[in-house]
Structure 1
Amino acid sequence: MPAPSPTPRNPAAQASLEGALPAALARIAATPGVYAALWCGSAARGEADAHSDLDIHALVTGDHRWRSSFVAGGVPVEVFHNPARKVRAMLAQPDHATVAMFAGGRVLLPHPDLDALFGEARALYAAGPAPRPLTPAERHTLLDEVVEARAALTEPVHPLLVASAAGRLVRALYAARGWWEVKPRVWPRDLARRGAPEAGLLHAVLSEASAAERQTALEALAFSLLPGGLDYGESASEAQTVA
């Protein structure tokens, strides 16, 4: 499971969020149908910053799921209400965000159903997702984005095209390597933690001053992922029925 930080990233924000927990939990527990609650996200891991909120997964009876948000103790709260069977289905997909949040969560309102889901998520997180190599069609699409950025090298839109292509490449990298997805703002830190050389390439994409240097870094990032480099090959998408 995600290891908690030894100290909060922002102690004042962490303290504020933890102080709001009793009021938030009281409101959630009073919601009809709620019978269990798990505190998730950065604050639950002790990693809160000034932009963090309280993320709570609540198990509910019945056949409906919904999201709600409110303010408690001066901090924003977001609650994901789901029947236990829906959470189990999301874990089985697997839905990366749900696996990570449950694996790193802290029980607020205990129940055997929550204990079971918590254990399933921890086991899934420890095993990691199955690697998913690029399909030929996906490779073609990524290559198109890199080449499109190269074609706009001298245009003002170049930084936007480079950033968009880099984002798609990094997402594809996580899928191909069998890594759990993380939020984009965590990519540099997470790649560095993994010792991935792509961390340096992503930093260069985001920080190089000249368009030529940005493009060079982008293409190096693409080379690390795209079999055959930047040469087009044969590809075809899946056939779809036309209505």
Structure 2
Amino acid sequence: MTMTRGTRRGRVPTGLAALAAVTAAAMPLAGCSSSAGPAVSSSAPAKAAEKPGTDEDGTKTAGTETAVAAKGGRLGGASSACELPVTFDLAAQWKPKAIELEPDSVLADLAEQGTVRMACEIDAKPAGNIGFLRVWQGKPSEDDPQAVLKAFVADDPNAGKAAYTQVKAGALAAAEVGYTVHSELMGESKSERAFAVSTPDGPVVVHLGGMDTEEHTAMLPAFELAKRSLKLA
């Protein structure tokens, strides 16, 4: 059974959509729980660069290996800030918070994308960057990780230039996508990245945005740390 891609995001009021375009990269969603994250130590992330991929038309994209951030804690277990179907290492000083929105919340539509719903938001501001690593979870289905990512990207009307690769997240088979998102308010496009895995409890997508491409690139080591250290919970 293949899950049907959600379409509720297309019905978000124009004013809210404009606000979301600015706040999604730089601010947490309102109405979230305030669970405290694990204590972490300070460490500057290493430089990062985009990894190679394949565009939707099959064209290879060039790039170099991404550095890995210093570990500052672990997320996903029952005693952590966000209980998830997977666990992974957090970059030092990044602060996680579980997303718990009421169904009738004005921001509920923004917490759904493709076939997944936002479950956890990890703030990079304490580490000196503007952006979030967000974890999304879906219901069990027969969709493979790449199908989940394609639905995720397709549900963002401003997304483009998607390049998909087959990768490993820890020891798990995974798919990864690098793409751009155009902001009408900022008047430019910025890079975003996500990877997806399948679990017995449904697919999990880990997504990295950022205020702009420069911030996104600076945060890639945290994304890479999460991917390399990921395990089933």
TM-score (normalizing by structure 1): 0.24
Q: Point out the structure with the larger strand share.
A: 2
Larger radius of gyration: 1
Q: Point out the structure with the larger helix share.
A: 1
Task: Specify which structure has the bigger relative contact order, considering alpha-carbon pairs within 8 angstroms and separated by 6 or more residues.
Answer: 2
TM-score (normalizing by structure 2): 0.25
